[in-house]
């Protein structure tokens, strides 16, 4: 029997740690937070010294009950949640909830922290416990309160002024401003023409090129050659000169330089490099890293493969450095080991130096050893982390740089640059990726050239170029910019980006972020009316305040009070802003019909140009110019006989009747994508992929409106092991990873996609299964269900046993599969829940 209870955040981590601690310990997961602020107004009360009102999270209630049950048998409670503010707060919330329910008693509750899940690290943590760090908890409470106060006060203003259902966040709004400002730069950018001239050369059977760098003994700047006529004139003159005298090497300059390795990964640099090299977005990177940290079964054991992945520190422990240096010496040779260990210093302000950088827990566990054992994404990210960790302790690379100047005894100069690697050093293992850079001509290999050599000229080529606007942000460059501005912290970068995408403020185009019309309107409204609170310096300053709270240098309530006063005043002031002002932007153009100014306005399907004289003048057109005549399809409408035409709406092109709005016939261009899964409600149709009015993907029966069954996740033709519902859906989460879940609300059973049958069975040990499917209400056709509902609904003089049984059965049917009268209306359900929660 276990006498000590250990609480971690995720079940994967619990399994790994259980093996390290033995039978005297029981390890359970809290599945993240066990309580949170009440999701309604008043959860943070500025009038009561920012009192915060928490309540238990309903979906985690069964995990809390499991913890309480195990705690009754235990002598001691160990809190082993993640080693960051969020993890500290989870431990504190759990203890507070247990005390509130009078379940903790006098049993000791101690905090243990480890930055890698290995047997040694876990046992050392148990041997060195501490109390819950309230400074870290208060910093997290302050962050949560700030986000709540901004969200619950600014979001309703957006609902009234822009569009219902929008949200604004303290950090996400600053990130949105970055993306919108970059788009404004791109649109305002005026391209400039310029030309370069290069000669194609041959020497010692090797081809290379020489770029024109000087003309008339003057160094050429970027725009000195700016038209084709000028470029052709220079080319002709050069060719004429080389016909008179051969091209010769005037000067060869050689110099050696060293290239140093990059520091080991922080959260930010890991996300950036995974984006560049693996094509992972920030959320995917953190999801995969979480699995590597929590523990993977590698055959002989289950072990955490990397240290904690939420960190802004670049230092490594002395033990890790010694292990890496020993590995390099044994596998690459003594010359690859620098004389002294490399120690890096972070440039990030207020970095938590007590943490380590992201590194493998055992450097001798090479990627080659794990190939074929780890899933593809896990292996690729581990390979990246392993190589960066090894390279950071290797000797620098040595390169010979060569610059060759050539001329024909004239006033112009050709230059060829190149390099040769004389000692690879760390480059034998790893080379850091780059953002938005052209090919570096210094990396080219040149043939051996000496002064006086005469390379053969194969041609002179002028090339036209145009300056390009700054590129849109990618995952890598956005994370890098957020970090540079001090916006957010390592644990928040992925959620910031994900929130912007979920709110449909940004969309990805060729893996780069582009603001949607809605995002630009929201961004402009916040910048115009709440400029201070989306200012980069203000957002970074708030992060500094939170860091000061976590270090015990400031108290959290005075920090909140300093923020709330001015913010509340500004909210009151901006309540009078009209919706037209919030969603309109003046243009430097007048209406062609009435001469009044034109405005950019936000409509249901995005931005459009409209006359300020509306409703007297109804002139409108798309943002990108006057409307063109719709393209005919080539057949007539089946409803009214008028020609069908192609149109473009919010979700792309579609077919519509030219008689709209009198005739509303529409057709999709393509048929919905089939999932291949039979509808579990009607048993006749199949579930197909569709999009909601807000663009969110869902899956519904293709017999709609006859059958209205729908689910949000991709369906899988696998019966739920708990309730036997014929399908499950795929889900993915930050902490839980890829899972299969039952779509039935009252069941909600879920497990890892990779879980074995034995692991699934273990999750069902304490579960009482529902009645067999044949004894539950059978999924009947819609008319039959309606008829049955009416039968129950109509008053009866006698209540028979059969009728009572039918009514009970109807109550047990799922929310998704029936609409019987016994299911209370939404308002009634809300009232019922309030009565239960507030007796």
Q: 462: closest CA among 194, 197, 193?
A: 197
| Contact status, residue 275 vs residue 474, Cβ threshold 8 Å | yes
The CA-atom distances, in angstroms, between 270 and each of 20, 165, 254, 312 are 28, 34, 36, 10
For residues 435 and 474, the answer to whether their CB atoms sit within 8 Å is yes
SS3 labels along 56-72 = ECHHHHHHHHHHHHHHH
Q: What 3-state DSSP class applies to 253?
A: strand
| Calpha distance 792→805 (Å, rounded) | 11
> How many Cβ atoms from other residues are within 10 Å of residue 451's Cβ?
11
- Tell me 417's DSSP state: E
Tokens of 255: 């110099």
Give me the sign of the Cα torsion angle 489, 492, 494, 500. Answer: negative
838, two tokens? 């507030």
Put residue 744 in one of left, alpha, beta given phi > 0 → left and psi -120 to 50 → alpha.
beta
Cβ–Cβ under 8 Å, residues 490 and 351: no
The span from the CA of 85 to the CA of 136, in Å, is 5
Q: How far apart, in Å, are the Cα atoms of 291 and each of 360, 390, 578, 733? A: 13, 21, 49, 11
**What is the distance, to the nearest Å, from the Cα of residue 105 to the centroid of all Cα atoms in its chain?**
41
| Residues 6 or more apart whose Cβ sits within 8 Å of residue 88 | 81, 111, 132, 133, 136, 137, 140
Torsion angle of alpha carbons 719, 722, 728, 731, nearest 10°? -150
* Contact between residue 680 and residue 709 where contact means Cβ atoms under 8 Å apart: yes
Other residues' Cβ atoms within 10 Å of the Cβ of residue 69: 12
- Which backbone phi and psi does 561 adopt, to 5 degrees? -65, -40
Transcribe 273-287 into DSSP letters: HHHHHH---HHHHHH
Active site residue 308: yes
Sign of CA dihedral 75, 80, 81, 86: positive
**Which residue, 161, 159, 151, is CA-closest to 577?**
161
Among 148, 194, 308, 493, the active-site one is 308
In Å, how far are 115, 339, 550, 599 from 140, measured between CA atoms?
19, 43, 8, 43
Residues designated catalytic: 308
């Amino acid at each position: 029997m276990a006498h000590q209870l250990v609480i971690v955040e995720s079940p994967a981590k619990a399994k790994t740690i259980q093996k390290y601690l033995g039978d005297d310990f029981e390890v359970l997961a809290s599945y993240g937070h066990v309580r949170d602020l009440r999701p309604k107004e008043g959860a943070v009360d500025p009038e009561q010294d920012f009192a915060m009102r928490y309540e238990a999270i309903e979906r985690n209630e069964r995990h809390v009950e499991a913890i309480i049950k195990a705690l009754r048998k235990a002598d001691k409670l160990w809190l082993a949640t993640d080693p960051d503010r969020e993890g500290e707060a989870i431990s504190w919330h759990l203890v507070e909830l247990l005390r509130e329910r009078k379940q903790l008693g006098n049993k000791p509750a101690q905090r243990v922290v480890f930055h890698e899940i290995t047997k040694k690290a876990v046992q050392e943590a148990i041997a060195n416990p501490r109390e819950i760090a309230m400074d870290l908890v208060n910093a997290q409470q302050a962050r949560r309160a700030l986000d709540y106060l901004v969200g619950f006060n600014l979001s309703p203003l957006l609902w009234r002024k822009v569009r219902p259902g929008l949200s604004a966040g303290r950090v996400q709004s600053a990130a949105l401003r970055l993306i919108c400002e970059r788009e404004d730069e791109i649109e305002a950018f005026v391209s400039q023409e310029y030309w370069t001239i290069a000669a194609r050369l041959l020497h010692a059977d090797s081809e290379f090129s020489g770029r024109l760098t000087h003309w008339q003994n003057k160094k050429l700047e970027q725009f000195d050659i700016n038209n084709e006529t000028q470029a052709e004139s220079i080319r002709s003159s050069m060719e004429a000169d080389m016909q008179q005298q051969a091209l010769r090497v005037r000067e060869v300059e050689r110099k050696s330089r060293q290239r140093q390795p990059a520091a080991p990964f922080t959260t930010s640099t890991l996300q950036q490099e995974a984006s560049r090299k693996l094509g992972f977005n920030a959320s995917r990177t953190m999801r995969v890293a979480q699995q590597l940290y929590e523990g993977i079964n590698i055959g002989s054991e289950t072990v955490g493969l990397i240290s904690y992945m939420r960190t802004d520190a670049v230092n490594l422990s002395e033990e890790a450095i010694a292990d890496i240096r020993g590995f390099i010496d044994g596998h690459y040779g003594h010359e690859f080991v620098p004389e002294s260990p490399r120690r890096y210093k972070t440039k990030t302000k207020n970095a938590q130096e007590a943490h380590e950088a992201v590194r493998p827990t055992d450097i001798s566990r090479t990627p080659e050893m794990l190939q074929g054992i780890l899933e593809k994404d896990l292996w690729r990210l581990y390979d990246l982390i392993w190589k960066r960790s090894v390279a950071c302790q290797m000797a620098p690379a040595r390169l010979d740089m060569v610059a060759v100047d050539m001329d024909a005894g004239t006033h112009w100069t050709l230059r060829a640059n190149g390099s040769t690697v004389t000692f690879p050093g760390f480059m034998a293992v790893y080379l850091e990726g780059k953002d938005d850079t052209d090919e570096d001509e210094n990396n080219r290999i040149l043939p051996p050239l000496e002064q006086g050599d005469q390379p053969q000229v194969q041609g002179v080529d002028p090339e036209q170029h145009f300056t390009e606007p700054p590129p849109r942000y990618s995952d890598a460059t956005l994370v890098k910019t957020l970090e540079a501005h001090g916006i957010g912290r390592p644990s928040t970068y992925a959620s910031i980006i994900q929130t912007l995408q979920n709110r449909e403020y940004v969309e990805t185009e060729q893996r780069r972020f582009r603001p949607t019309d809605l995002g630009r309107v929201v961004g402009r409204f916040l910048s115009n009316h709440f400029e201070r609170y989306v200012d980069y310096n203000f957002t970074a300053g708030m992060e500094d305040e939170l860091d000061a709270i976590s270090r015990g240098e400031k108290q959290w309530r005075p920090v909140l009070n300093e923020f709330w006063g001015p913010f509340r005043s500004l909210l009151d002031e901006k309540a009078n802003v009209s919706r037209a002002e919030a969603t309109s932007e003046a243009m430097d153009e007048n209406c062609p019909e009435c001469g009044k100014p034109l405005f950019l306005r936000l409509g249901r399907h995005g931005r459009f140009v409209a006359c300020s004289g509306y409703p007297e003048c109804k002139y409108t057109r798309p943002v990108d110019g006057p409307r063109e005549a719709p393209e005919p399809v080539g057949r007539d409408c089946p409803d009214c006989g008028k020609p069908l035409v192609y149109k473009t709406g919010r979700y792309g092109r579609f077919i519509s009747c030219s008689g709209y709005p009198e005739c509303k016939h529409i057709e999709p261009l393509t048929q919905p994508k089939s999932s291949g899964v039979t509808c579990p409600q009607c048993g006749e149709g199949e579930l197909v992929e569709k999009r909601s009015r807000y663009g969110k993907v869902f899956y519904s029966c293709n017999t709609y409106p006859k059958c209205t069954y729908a689910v949000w996740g991709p369906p899988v033709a696998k019966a739920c092991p708990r309730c036997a519902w014929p399908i499950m859906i795929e889900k993915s989460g930050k902490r839980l990873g890829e899972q299969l879940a039952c779509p039935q609300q009252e069941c909600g059973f879920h497990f890892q996609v990779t879980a074995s049958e034995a692991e699934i069975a273990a999750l069902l040990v304490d579960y009482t299964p529902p009645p067999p499917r044949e004894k539950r209400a059978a999924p009947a056709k819609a008319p039959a269900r309606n008829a049955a509902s009416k039968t129950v609904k109509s008053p009866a003089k006698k209540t028979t046993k059969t009728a009572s049984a039918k009514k009970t059965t109807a109550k047990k049917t799922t929310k998704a599969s029936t609409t019987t009268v016994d299911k209370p209306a939404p308002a009634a359900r809300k009232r019922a829940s309030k009565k239960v929660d507030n007796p």
